[in-house]
Amino acid sequence: MSGKQSTGWEQREGVNGVELPLAGTSSRASGTAWPGAELAYSTCAMASPVPGLSPRTLGPCTPSPTTTFGDLRNAKVGQARRRRIPSVAPPPELQDWLRTFQRWSGPEKLLALDELIDRCEPAQIKYMMQVIEPQFQRDFISLLPKELALYVLSFLEPRDLLRAAQTCRYWRVLAEDNLLWREKCREEGIEEPLHLRKRRLLSPGFMYSPWKFAFLRQHRIDMNWRSGELRPPKVLKGHDDHVITCLQFCGNRIVSGSDDNTLKVWSAVTGECVQTLVGHTGGVWSSQMRDSVVISGSTDRTLKVWNADSGECVHTLYGHTSTVRCMHLHGNRVVSGSRDATLRLWDIETGQCLHVLMGHVAAVRCVQYDGHKVVSGAYDYTVKVWDPESESCTHTLQGHTNRVYSLQFDGTHIVSGSLDTSIRVWDVESGNCLHTLMGHQSLTSGMELRDNILVSGNADSTVKIWDIKTGQCLQTLQGPSKHQSAVTCLQFSSKFVVTSSDDGTVKLWDLKTGEFVRNLVALESGGSGGVVWRIRASNTKLVCAVGSRNGTEETKLLVLDFDVDLK
């Protein structure tokens, strides 16, 4: 769950019934020039090149047989022909004056024109304007070789490309070029959906520009999140009245873990429970998933590796002497953290414990693993960086004055959240604390970090958006519509932040402005015991684990769908 915004745009029907905001409408007749074409052409060489799109990537710049650079020079002559005022006989001095005018230099000609304008009456000035204005309405784009025309159009915003497509047939062909829209999708982080790619390969005539279709489809999905009618969610009932402690969602598979000692595998499409994973003798408190592999950690001190398709327990991993409270999967290895103050690195294919990391003096509460380094946070107030192969602690990050509950690690920066109300940003190589982020009033229970943007959720009911490079708080998600109780979970995309709370709501916020968009879920029992424990979101779906601690809300999963119907 990476766009440019504007206001005052009109809604115009797009391709395949998809609406996208357009920058106004044009009253020019078909075939006349787009007002910005001259500027785009003259500045394209000066502007910063669009990554991945240039005359070279667009192909060999070979003018078509009907369009040459000579045509561009001759176009002025061809278009200069105009209707002249009928005249009986020009004054005899006119030809002499024109010959003299031709002999003058450029500055002298401008001076003569300036003096001539001063001596003209308003009606004559108006006539000059009517004559001159059409000379600047030439369609440069249509005269350019296609490769250069596409390069010029690559500097336009998507909404302006849609407007350009309304100018004439040739502009429509250019503005729907597949490579052009692929670049626009790349800028927005939009990938062509797999089912759309398969459909295009099976039916080559399916659509003229699949990347344009993907862009418009994503716009519709974003609008569904923002303001579309909320469809009735799929309700997945299970785990009786127990607490759902962990939640995973990937593709069309959902896995929920509970303190009832089980995990359940669900279909996000049908809502059916396809497997119940039974084997733990204590509550499940942590899980990870990759494809059909599920790993779970329990109060019974073990980890289990499951096949989600068959429901079979492939391995039981023994070694910890207390609850397995956290884990992080990378490739075929998983790192587990336990209340026994140790971390263990496991091979999930063989079930073998590869390394044991010892050094914390209290329970390990959170862990991150990127395949090279392990980062752990514990109740001993410290964060540790480990080299798992040598089983050595390379840095102990000290500064927090209370338990560390949450971690994020992007390979360069470590971000830790603590019960001391602070968030700290560390450099993983030096171990130095780069920033201490202050502003929350309680425990930072959840965080997500991507591209130097950190979103943090706190027990004080607020959510904050930070720039970890500068340490600046960009937005605080609050106001009249803010959560009324502790934030339990969050996730963000390039446009939105989704948050859940003990108040029984799931809220949608605008990432860039920090403005509240709307409630996606509001339990009737919210405020009287109903809570949303966990959320997981994809581009088109939102999964919420809800229930209560006092029996006012039945334990269940809610699956909301924001996809576009392609039928």
DSSP letters for 160-188: HHHHHTTT-HHHHHHHT-HHHHHHHHHHH
- In DSSP terms, which residues pair with 383 in a beta bridge? 377, 397
For residue 345, the one-letter residue type is L
Long-range contacts: 378-382, Cβ < 8 Å, 24+? 378/337, 378/341, 378/403, 378/404, 379/403, 379/404, 380/341, 381/418
**Sign of the dihedral through C-alpha 548, 549, 550, 551:** positive
- By the 10 Å C-beta count (0-12 exposed, 13-18 middle, 19+ buried), 184 is classed as buried
3-state secondary structure of 540: coil
Q: What token pair was written down for 68? A: 């040459």
CA–CA dist 394, 405 (Å, integer): 21
Q: Which residue has the higher pLDDT, 441 or 28?
A: 441
Sign for the pseudo-dihedral over CA of 463, 363, 305, 277: negative
Q: How far apart are CA 492 and CA 496, in angstroms?
A: 6
Closest CA to 146 of 110, 186, 108, 175: 175
Is the pTM of the predicted complex or chain greater than 0.85?
no
DSSP 8-class letter at 101: H
Strand ranges inside 279-427, DSSP E: 284-290, 293-298, 303-307, 313-317, 324-330, 333-338, 342-347, 352-358, 364-369, 374-378, 383-387, 392-397, 404-409, 413-418, 423-427
The residue written with tokens 């080299």 in the block is 387
Digit-coded pLDDT (tens) for 288-322: 999 999 999 999 999 999 999 999 999 999 999 99
pLDDT tens-digit map of 109-161: 999 999 999 999 999 999 888 888 877 777 778 888 888 988 988 898 888 99
| Structural tokens at position 6 | 């504007």
Q: How far apart are CA 382 and CA 379, in angstroms?
A: 7
For residue 91, pLDDT over 80 is answered with yes
325-367 pLDDT, tens digit each? 999 999 999 999 999 999 999 999 999 999 999 999 999 999 9
- Decide if pLDDT at 550 tops 90: no
What pLDDT, on the 0 to 100 scale, is given for residue 226?
96
Q: What DSSP character marks residue 314?
A: E
What is the C-alpha separation between 368 and 408, in angstroms, rounded? 7
H or E element in which residue 41 lies: helix 37-43
For residue 59, give every residue at least 6 positions away whose Cβ sits within 8 Å of its Cβ, in sequence order, or none.
Answer: 147
Radius of gyration of the chain measured on its C-alpha atoms: 32
Question: Is there a contact between 308 and 293 (Cβ–Cβ < 8 Å)?
Answer: yes
Which domains, and CATH codes, for the chain? 10-63+109-223 (1.20.1280.50)
| Cα angle 407-408-411, degrees, rounded to a multiple of 5 | 135
Residue 388 has pLDDT above 50, yes or no: yes
